[in-house]
A = this chain, B = another copy of it.
């Protein structure tokens, strides 16, 4: 694999996991030494991170890990609302129910798996959600929309790892996802979009409450 890809993935993973905290400086030489590659691939990786919105140019000379505030999370959900409702709507309109049949079965089992409380059930649920994303991408068959969705998912992953997920929330999310999938299978574009809206609304409420509980002072997270 190319060194620039490795550098990009390494830095991205560290940003998503919070190892590189919001506001942390991303200097070329420093990261090059740390990652064991030269400045050239690091430079490319940093440019990609900036394009992703995971890094922000604070000044002409300093690049920082993007902040993650309640405001930016709300902004993310405004974008997700636009993109994911459209994706659900289009997926329903494409009329490929067989593509989502397996997901329906998996999502029907999810509440039970999550109730068991073991780690495996949780990992399995996340895999199911990833599979749903993949099937949505395949169904909408729209490179531009998929690209925008992928970028939004990047930020979503960052929020997800910041906001601890309670089992009850995950079970609710699974049933919300199930409704979306059933609407798509039924070819009901309107319901698919509205169910997505509901899901995002609940998810945002939970995320904001979760980080509020963790950081009563909003500025600490800012």
Contact = CB atoms under 8 A, between A and B. Distances in A.
A142 B77 CA distance: 10
A90 B90 CA distance: 22
B44 A79 contact: no
A75 B145 contact: yes
B75 A81 contact: no
A134 to B, nearest CB: 18
Interface stretch (A47-55, A183-191, A214-222): A47-55
A145 B51 contact: no
Interface of A: 40, 43-44, 47-48, 51, 53, 72, 75-76, 78-79, 81-83, 85-86, 90, 140, 142-145, 147-148, 151-152, 155
A208 to B, nearest CB: 16
B48 A142 contact: no
A86 B82 contact: yes
Main secondary structure, interface of A, reads helix
Given A48-B51, A53-B147, A143-B75, A86 B90 contact: no
Given A44-B47, A53-B143, 8 more contacts: A53-B144, A53-B147, A78-B86, A78-B144, A78-B145, A79-B86, A79-B145, A144-B152
A152 B79 CA distance: 14
A165 to B, nearest CB: 22
21 contacts: A44-B47, A48-B51, A53-B144, A53-B147, A72-B143, A75-B145, A76-B144, A78-B86, A78-B90, A78-B142, A79-B86, A79-B142, A79-B144, A79-B145, A81-B86, A82-B83, A82-B86, A82-B145, A144-B155, A148-B148, A148-B151
A102 B53 CA distance: 32
Nearest to A43: B44
A78 to B, nearest CB: 5
A219 B76 CA distance: 38
Contacts of A155: 144
Contact of A48 (B43, B47, B145, B152): B47
Contacts of A82: 82-83, 85-86, 145
Contact of A47 (B47, B78, B145): B47
